Amino acid sequence: MAVHAHPDDESSKGAASMAKYVAQGVDVLVATCTGGERGSILNPRLQGDPRFEADIHEVRRREMDAAREILGVKQAWLGFVDSGLPEGDPQPPLPAGCFALEPVEHAAEPLVRLIRKFRPHVITTYDENGGYPHPDHIMTHKITMAAFEAAGDPEAYPESGEPWQPLKVYYNHGISTARIRALHAYLVEHGHESPFGEWVAGWDSEGRKEREFTTRVQCADWFELRDRALLAHATQVDPDGPWFRVPLDVQREVWPTEDYELARSLVETQLPEDDLFAGITG
């Protein structure tokens, strides 16, 4: 089970891994916390088009359906309202009723119910910083960790299904600085223009440190499928943006994995891993 904040997050973070596991016969479910109602139209080709601006909630549902079909996964909505990304100094307050303002114990309940129904062995989500500090991503982390602990406890949420204890939870690092740095260095070394120069320079000036990967899943054969799923979220993705300006053969050579950090495990496993199910299957 992959727990994500908004429709499109599943296609930019861990999509190739999910597609690989689906191809191996694994049952994969994406739990989407919000409907992405407050997402802006980021694709410049679609900005100003009333067909997309009139009902962005329904548009994003259709995009999610298309991405789900491409990846071969199942998908469920938890039903919370997108918090938006507050901008400004000082930042404005979050809108009333949004996901990030829900009490964690309340917001974790539908995820506990879904875990008990789907019965996953492995769950993936974001780290405590949300991967990046979007309030919905941080809240997704909080409810996932709470649900991981509660799902197997018969005294927790007794009306939400028979207890089921997942065995491992991972933080996904699909957009890691290490990966971007490696791609940037390769492109520069081989005389190509890199779309990541400003990003890397900014990280250098900040002294940004990379989190530790414990698990690297080889999934280069599914990068093309990942990109197709991401492009299915047409309002959210610029097809001419930096993600699509690095040839797939370069990505496969330089960084053929999707990377994870093992956050909690109830089974013995030896690090580093190359499989999210290490220690669960022989």
Q: What distance in Å separates the CA atoms of residue 100 and residue 90, rounded to the nearest whole number?
A: 18
Distance CA 169, CA 187 (A): 34
Q: Is 153 annotated as a binding residue?
A: no
Angstrom distance (rounded) from CA 10 to CA 138: 15
Residue in 229, 183, 173 with CA at minimum distance from that of residue 10: 229
Unique residue bearing structure tokens 């596991």? 21
Tally of CB atoms within 10 A around 205: 8
Bridge partners, 76 (sequence order): 31
Q: Is 137 annotated as belonging to a binding site? A: yes
Q: Which helix (H) or strand (E) holds 136?
A: helix 135-150
CA 172 to CA 44: how far, in whole Å? 28
DSSP string, 179-194: HHHHHHHHHHHTTPPP
190 labelled binding-site residue: no
Residues 6+ apart with CB under 8 A from 178: 210, 213, 259
Binding-site residues from annotation for Zn(2+): 6, 9, 137
Binding-site residues from annotation: 6, 9, 137
